[in-house]
Amino acid sequence: MPARPPPLLTFTEPPNAITQIFTPTSYDEDKPNRRWYHNLPLYGVVVLLLAPHPSLLFILINHYLVVLKTPIKFTVHILCVYALTFMMFSSLIVLVARDPGPVTFDEPLNDHDDNEEVGLTEALMSPDDFSAPGKWCRSCWAPKPERTHHCSFCGRCVLKMDHHCPWLGNRCIGHRTYPAFLHFLFCITLLAIYVAAVCANALYFAFKNPYTIDEFTPIHEILLTFAGITFSLVIGSFFIYHLYLVSTNQTTIENITPFLLLRHLPVLPSTEASRLSDPPLEHELSYRQRRLVKDAHGYIRLYDVGFKKNWTQVLGWKRPYGLAYRVLCGGSSTGDGKSFPRAANSEELLVRLARELVIQDKDV
């Protein structure tokens, strides 16, 4: 008797279907497959950071040991340069090796007893309103906490995502790596300024005393002075921009995307002739409404709770010797990365923006 073929359609749920939906995946399991050449920008960064050191050693030895014969100054400069280099690479290792912010849901979905049967629809429901815009990721098909964004390059959501950086191993900068990113920028900027100052001083001495030094050392001094000034201006400007973001409690995505405010608007006043969804979508806005949102983005900072609290939220620590850990590699931000306090006047400003959008909608 021939075996019965399997049914084409079944209505039975696997016993662990709900568990599979909400089981968190690690960064390495969820990210797209990458080849070795995807890390070429990271290799280039490492080469750029190490390339000046042979010339710098050549300058320090010739200038401080051969010409000036001051081994103490030589030792001090060597210690300063390689202390900054060590801290720079320690934060780089943290950025490459640490998960930027996994989205996990360890809490139970419901408060039902263990013996009580739960249906599929009821099991999928959560105490939070995940149907609200911005609280459900349509790509991961999972809840998305506050300030979390989906990275299309990594194929996953990242807690408090700042941006995706191809130069750091094609990884995102998020809740658990942002302080290390600040530390990395600070060390590069400080090291570039230090190298430029040391080499410029040695170059000035070479011009004033041309017969006391060989003809090759000034060439190294000119090149390193120029490289140090260039790095300090480029990376330093980027570092200053992130200092502004920390001081106002913004991420790069929140700062450059004003229409994220639409997700946080309260229920719009109901009008018969309104064309807007609730909350409004960017493509539905007229020119005046878009201009209104962009202007409001300049003074509505949802998470700005004051300069000191903003910095504590990013760089604060609760463990002993936390400052030493921050100085060494930057560490990670405090908190769970899922909930953040809001500014006291944010709700009032959002209500005013919603009312103005409806008024502008009537005039269209």
User: Among all residues, which ones are annotated catalytic?
Assistant: 165
The H or E element that residue 163 is part of is: strand 163-165
- In which residue are the tokens 């009537």 written? 362
- In which residue are the tokens 């609290």 written? 309
Q: What are phi and psi of 333, to 5 degrees?
A: -75, 160
* CB-count exposure of residue 163 (10 Å: 0-12, 13-18, 19+): middle
* CB-count exposure of residue 28 (10 Å: 0-12, 13-18, 19+): exposed
For residues 179 and 333, the answer to whether their CB atoms sit within 8 Å is: yes
| DSSP string for residues in 241-295 | HHHHHHHTT--HHHHH-GGGGGGG--PPPP-TT----SSPPGGG--HHHHHHHHH
d(CA 266, CA 278): 9
List the Cα angle 108/109/111 in 5-degree steps: 75
d(CA 249, CA 296): 16
In this structure, are strands 142-143 and 136-137 parallel, antiparallel, or unpaired?
antiparallel
d(CA 140, CA 127): 20
